[in-house]
Amino acid sequence: MADIRVQSADFDVAAEVAAVQAGGDAGARETGPHDIGAIVTFTGVCRNDGGRLVALELEHYPGMAEEEIARVAAEAERRWPLKGLCVIHRYGLIRPGENIVLVVTASAHRQAAFEAASFLMDYLKTRAPFWKKEHLADGTSGGWVAPRQEDDEATTRWD
């Protein structure tokens, strides 16, 4: 059911929400359409870090990126009664203000949608094979972004 894409192109939040809603409705054989009551989206956006950053370069492991996101999505679907799920992760050069990642979750009630979206983001941060390199305002490379300890800790809370 999960719609997973790894792409360099930008995405359209509204179009993905509409697709999740249409897909959920189409899948609702027993109760008729319209059993989605809650849709949560998370959009990760490139910050400029106080003017220091002009771009992030996102490298990924083609093939494994899609497969690892699919594994995390399948785990989310096992844990919560989702009626729709979409994850889009971009790669390539991304400038401040531009989108990096989108997660859309849909469920009958809000708690499942919120928790699943939060879970997906925590796992994507620490398991999806993407790496960010900084391009700085002074023209140099700021090197590779180091993982945040908070991200590892955020993931362990779902164990």
Tell me which residues touch other proteins (CB under 8 A): 44, 58-61, 63-64, 67-68, 89, 100-101, 110, 121, 124-133, 143-147, 151
Closest CB to other proteins among residues 82, 101: 101
Question: Given the DSSP bridges, would you call strands 53-60 and 92-94 parallel, antiparallel or unpaired?
Answer: antiparallel
Q: Where is 132: in which H helix or E strand? A: strand 130-136
Question: Given the DSSP bridges, would you call strands 130-136 and 141-144 parallel, antiparallel or unpaired?
Answer: antiparallel
**Could you tell me which stretch among 37-45, 60-68, 73-81, 86-94 binds its own copies (CB under 8 A)?**
37-45
Q: How far is the CB of 93 from its own copies (least distance, A)?
A: 15
What is the Cα–Cα distance from 75 to 70, expressed in whole angstroms?
Answer: 9
2: number of CA atoms within 13 Å, CB side? 27
What is the Cα–Cα distance from 57 to 8, expressed in whole angstroms?
Answer: 11
Q: How far is the CB of 150 from other proteins (least distance, A)?
A: 12
Residues lying near its own copies in the complex (CB under 8 A) are found at 12-14, 17, 21, 25, 30-51, 96-97, 108, 110-111, 113-114, 117-118, 121, 150, 154
